[in-house]
Every structure is written in C-alpha cells, then in structure tokens.
Amino acid sequence: MLGNRQSVVNHLGAIRNKIGDAHGRGRRPVKPKPRHAELAVNLAGTMASFLVSTWKERSDSSP
C-alpha cells in the first residue's frame, strides 16, 4: 500500500496535465466531468492528510 503512494501522486499529475488547460488544447481536448474533479480533489486531500499524519507520527517518535 505505501509503495503505491508515489504512483497515486504521479497519476494525479498526469490527469492534471492531460485535462488541464496549462499546456493548451490538443486536437481532441478532453472534457472532464464533475466526477473527475471530485476524484482529483479527494485524491489530493487524502494524500496530503496521509503525508501530514506520517510526518507528525515520525516527529513525535524522534529522540
């Protein structure tokens, strides 16, 4: 499970690159639906929460 966290972050970035408008529109632009936005926001929030919790746990247990 923990080994896949980097994969989740990478895929979230790939989704942003593919459906975002920062890189311009290709010949066949992808039109995201609200469910795509919800997935991206929830993934980002979950990863942020996990990373902060991990940091706090490691900070509390350091000598």
Instruction: Give, to the nearest 10 degrees, the angle between helix 34-61 and helix 5-19.
Output: 150
State pLDDT tens for residues 43-54: 888 888 988 998
pTM: 0.62
**Within 10 A of 29 (CB to CB), how many other CB atoms are there?**
11
Coil, strand or helix at 20: coil
CA–CA distance from 40 to each of 27, 29, 33, 60 (Å)?
24, 18, 11, 30
Q: What is the mean pLDDT of residues 46-63?
A: 88
Q: Are 23 and 17 contacting, i.e. CB atoms less than 8 angstroms apart?
A: yes
